[in-house]
Amino acid sequence: MVFTLFRTSVLAIALLPATVPALGSGFSDSTDTHVDSLRRVAASLHATGHYSQAVRVFLSVGADTGDARDRFGLGLSYAALNNFTEANRFLRQAVQLDSANVNYRFQFGRFLAQAGHIKGAQDQYERIIELDSVYIPALSALASIYNEARSYEIAAALFQRVLALNPRDYLSYYYLGNILVALADQDSAQTCLAASLSLNPNFVPAMNVLASIYYVKKQYPEALALYQRAFSLRPGSPDFIHKAGLCYRQLDDYEHAASSFAKAVELDTLNGTYYGNLGHALFRVQKYDSSVFAYRKAISLEPENPILYVNLALVLQKQDSVQRAAEAFRGAIRAYHPDEIARVYVQIGALYYQRKNYREARNAYQAALGVDPNDRDAQFFLACAFHNLSDVASAIRNFQKYLKLAQDDSTETNRREWATTRLKHLQKK
């Protein structure tokens, strides 16, 4: 019967919040039992999400001038309403009135952290640990603060303390694993992340980080299995199936790579990287038309990425679309950093040279040398282009320039010998 009356009081106050002040003032001579009942009403209102009503009831029983428990409850209700000023006021007062209460301190610390007052939160957590060295919530929260501040060694030590107290804490294993990755301790990180997954086999964040470790270690089948598992749990996430495609690519399975990249594109049609990798995979399985389409889509999304233009040019070159390939190379020139433009001109020159269009090849190699006068490839093939154009004087002059550039390069021995022989032949004419 008592429980029924209590619930009725909660509902009445929740439905008629305006009556709360009158309720408090109408019982000015009430007993302590009735005040305690109202406190329970306020606590129940807070627990059920009726924060404004909870504040009214707390105020009606004088919580704003009451003991630590009253001020703590009032502060929590204000915090739930995102009223920083009043929440900070009453939670701080509760901590001051009952300074040994680690729960009050922890909730106050959480409130400060959520409000962006990280130093204040850190002070509360550190004081808690001084009072109770095995208070896990404070250890975990403090570890997270040091982790965010990139004080990785301190954060790692704190998470290790948490795990010593609670060895089945899969989240702490995960966080510690991430920290160890940042500390370049891949083996220990791998152990921690595997432990996290053994405790929670469907914890996708741990799968993702562990898979990345396998990928870096070139253990592609292991990485692939984890990325596929993560995608099966989160089928709306294109990143996981894209990373599975990268694993397939490393395993030279371009059919499955193309299929994975195509799925990633289907889920995210605005990601140029996905389209670019799809274009590469389709190129490797000789689906040139589809590859061209994918690269053009990637370029439309990332017009400043020169690699996309170069790769598109290589596909068009396979299709014998020399003019379109040359135009794609020129797109790369517009996007590339100036220091790299010479190499693109060399590729354009090679494109024309292979088709025996020596005039266009000459122009491209001259453009390359205009950017980088020390480019040996451009200098050698420019001389060859002049030779094929029967411009003997220009061929002699450019072979001589090439030989001067390559005179100390041991990797150019065969080409240098050929150029020397050709130069002697031309000089006899």
Which residues, 6+ apart, have CB-to-CB distance to 156 below 8 Å?
A: 176, 179, 180, 183
Asked if residue 339 has pLDDT above 70, the reply is no
The CB density around residue 250, as the number of other CB atoms within 10 Å, is 15
Query: Is residue 28 a part of any domain in this protein?
Result: no
Return the pLDDT at 354: 81
pLDDT band with cut points at 50, 70 and 90 for residue 335: low
**Count of Cβ atoms closer than 10 Å to residue 31 Cβ:** 9
Confidence of residue 13 (pLDDT cuts 50, 70, 90): very low
Average pLDDT over residues 303-308: 83
Give the angle subtended at the CA of 171 by the CAs of 198 and 176, to the nearest 5°.
95
Range of the domain at 428: 360-429
The phi and psi torsions of 268 (rounded to 5 degrees) equal -140, 95
Q: Which two tokens stand for residue 184?
A: 């370049």
Residue 77's pLDDT band (cuts 50, 70, 90): very high
pLDDT in tens, 385-422: 999 999 999 999 999 999 999 888 888 888 999 999 99
Q: Which two tokens stand for residue 193?
A: 């992340």
In a domain, 326, yes or no: no
Could you tell me if residue 423 is inside a domain? yes
Whether pTM > 0.75 for this model: the answer is no
Domain contains 316: no
Lowest mean pLDDT among 108-122, 365-379, 390-404: 365-379
- Is the Cα torsion angle 310, 315, 318, 319 positive or negative in sign? negative
Q: What was the pLDDT predicted at 429?
A: 67
Q: Is 393 part of a structural domain of the chain? A: yes
Counting residues of the chain whose pLDDT is more than 90, the rounded percentage is 69
Residue 172: pLDDT over 50: yes
* Rounded average pLDDT over 140-167: 97
pLDDT exceeds 50 at position 17: no
pLDDT cut 70: percent of the chain above it: 91
pLDDT band at 342 (very low <50, low <70, confident <90, very high): confident
* 249 located within any domain: no
Contacts of 184 (CB under 8 A, 6+ apart): none
Residues 6+ positions from 332 with CB-CB distance below 8 Å? 306, 307, 309, 310, 313, 344
Examine the pLDDT at 14 and tell me if it is beyond 80: no
| Average model confidence (pLDDT) across the chain | 88
Q: Where are the alpha helices (DSSP H) in 217-271?
A: 220-233, 238-250, 254-267
Length of the chain, please? Answer: 429
Task: Report the pLDDT value the prediction gives residue 247, as an integer from 0 to 100.
Answer: 98
Q: Is 278 left (phi over 0), alpha (psi -120 to 50) or beta?
A: alpha
189 pLDDT above the threshold of 50? yes
Give the CATH number, domain containing residue 425: 1.25.40.10
248-252, 312-316, 332-336: segment of lowest average pLDDT: 332-336
**Per-residue pLDDT tens for 48-74?**
999 999 999 999 989 999 999 999 999
| pLDDT at residue 243 greater than cutoff 60 | yes
Please check whether residue 175 is in contact with residue 147, taking contact to mean a CB–CB distance below 8 angstroms.
yes
- Report if residue 402 sits inside a domain: yes
Tokens for 216?
Answer: 């870096």
Q: Where are the alpha helices (DSSP H) in 270-357?
A: 272-284, 288-301, 306-318, 322-335, 341-354
Looking at the structure of the chain, the number of domains it has is 1
pLDDT at 142 over 90: yes
Alpha carbon dihedral 57, 61, 66, 70, in 10-degree steps, equals -40
Would residue 379 count as lying in a domain?
yes
pLDDT at 3 over 70: no
